[in-house]
Amino acid sequence: MYAQMIKSEASREDPEKLAAFQARIDAGDKIEPKDWMPLGYRKTLIRQIGQHAHSEIVGQLPEGNWITRAPTLERKAILLAKVQDEAGHGLYLYCAAETLGVTRDELTEMLLDGRMKYSSIFNYPTLTWADMGAVGWLVDGAAIMNQVPLQRTSFGPYSRAMIRICKEESFHQRQGYDIMMKMAAGTPAQKKMAQDALNRFWYPSLMMFGPSDKESVHSEQSMAWKIKMNTNDELRQKFVDQTVPQAHYLGLTVPDEHLKLDEETGHYAFSQPDWSEFFDVLKGNGPCNRERLAARNKAWDDGKWVRDGLLAHADKKAARKVAAE
Ligand code: BYC
């Protein structure tokens, strides 16, 4: 439906402007906030960047859960830094979205009342310390796989935000793998925890790339506009090809009995996640959907006095300036 709406909006726009816009995209130009752009391009970016920003913010919750219980001071400092980075990523992305004419408050309200999504992965619980390893290794690993190509996306502010985010995501992925290396080489109980974390996070990580290309609603138009640089299935395959040897190095087993390397193509054949579970999580029925949204709603309500205070201060400052002129 959304894709149809975008198409029908495009049909109402000036064909000459549309053609000139597409020519700029095809030539690899960056589109900047003040440039003319089709309404559908603007809306698609607000949706994607907004959802991405929300994912960074909600993504702090499963890891924040372990800050007080990190096993050493060093691990705690690393985890704290990572979780703070995620907040920063959210801020860069909200700023990029704001250049398209939507405010951060509007985006937040759309998240809180369920009109906007955030990544499905953050609706799964983090049950043990090994989950911090699996999240860093697999979840940030999947995020990087998706975000490195987005550094070349056509919208300037989004692509520039991605450059910085990707640098930080590499550190996140590395710290997760480091936890997995320690756990997998530890006591039998620690290795079991690492395997259990891999078992629980493998398929939800594959879901992060979105539904199969056949089911994807937006890919075709988003790729034509270079808002997306690859299809969901292309990136999922790349992720599997990169991650399976890393699991082997750890001495862990990927929970997929159909996993098989095709020597000729160099690609792994693998089992698809349970897509009915994915769509159910998107509808709000994942293990932690309610908890995550309740936490964000509480943070928003608790922070009201700060926002009100800052706005009152800004209003007073503006009034003083007017009076002085
Ligand atoms: N979760 O037509 P499709 C991270 C929705 S976390 C929830 O293929 P599109 C991090 C999709 O929105 C990673 N919803 O969509 C943070 C659409 O529904 P609507 C966040 C999903 O947009 C902290 C419908 O399914 N990364 O960075 O072309 C710690 C049909 O899908 C998901 C980004 O957001 C999902 N997994 O492609 C660690 C990257 N997948 O909106 C890590 C930027 C699909 O029509 N985003 N849907 O109601 C993208 O690259 C694309 O938006 C996606 C989906 C590949 C995710």
User: What are the residue boundaries of the structural domains of the chain, listed by start?
Assistant: 15-274
Decide if 324 contacts 161 (C-beta within 8 A). no
Q: Is the CB of 289 under 6 A from ligand 1?
A: no
Residue where the block lists tokens 């597409």: 22
3-state secondary structure of 10: helix
Q: Is the CB of 143 under 6 A from ligand 1?
A: yes
Residue 12, pLDDT score: 82
User: Ligand 1: which residue has its CA nearest to atom 12?
Assistant: 117
Neighbours of 55 (CB within 10 A): 22
Nearest C-alpha neighbor of 49 from the set 6, 92, 2, 112: 92
User: Ligand 1: which residue has its CA nearest to atom 11?
Assistant: 210
Residue 322, pLDDT score: 82
- Interval between CA 207 and ligand 1 midpoint (Å): 9
User: Ligand 1: which residue has its CA nearest to atom 39?
Assistant: 52
Q: Is the CB of 49 under 6 A from ligand 1?
A: no
User: Ligand 1: which residue has its CA nearest to atom 54?
Assistant: 210
Nearest C-alpha neighbor of 198 from the set 261, 289, 133, 242: 133
CATH number for the domain formed by residue range(s) 15-274: 1.20.1260.10
Residue 10, pLDDT score: 65
Confidence class for position 232, pLDDT limits 50, 70, 90? very high
- Interval between CA 64 and ligand 1 midpoint (Å): 22
- Atom of ligand 1 lying closest to residue 207 CA: 36
Q: Is the pLDDT of residue 181 over 80?
A: yes
Q: Is the pLDDT of residue 11 over 80?
A: no
Decide if 116 contacts 51 (C-beta within 8 A). yes
Residue 3, pLDDT score: 58
3-state secondary structure of 264: coil
Residue 186: half-sphere exposure toward Cβ, Cα within 13 Å: 15
3-state SS of 91-115 is HHHHHHHHCCCCCHHHHHHHHHCCC
User: Ligand 1: which residue has its CA nearest to atom 43?
Assistant: 52
Residue 325, pLDDT score: 80
Confidence class for position 315, pLDDT limits 50, 70, 90? confident
Residue 101, Ramachandran bin (φ over 0: left; ψ between -120 and 50: alpha; else beta): left
Higher pLDDT, 37 or 321: 37
Element (H or E) spanning 196, and its range?
A: helix 188-207
133-154 mean pLDDT: 97
- Interval between CA 15 and ligand 1 midpoint (Å): 30
User: Ligand 1: which residue has its CA nearest to atom 34?
Assistant: 52
272-301 mean pLDDT: 97
Confidence class for position 7, pLDDT limits 50, 70, 90? low
pTM for this prediction = 0.94
Q: Is the CB of 62 under 6 A from ligand 1?
A: no
Q: Is the CB of 82 under 6 A from ligand 1?
A: no
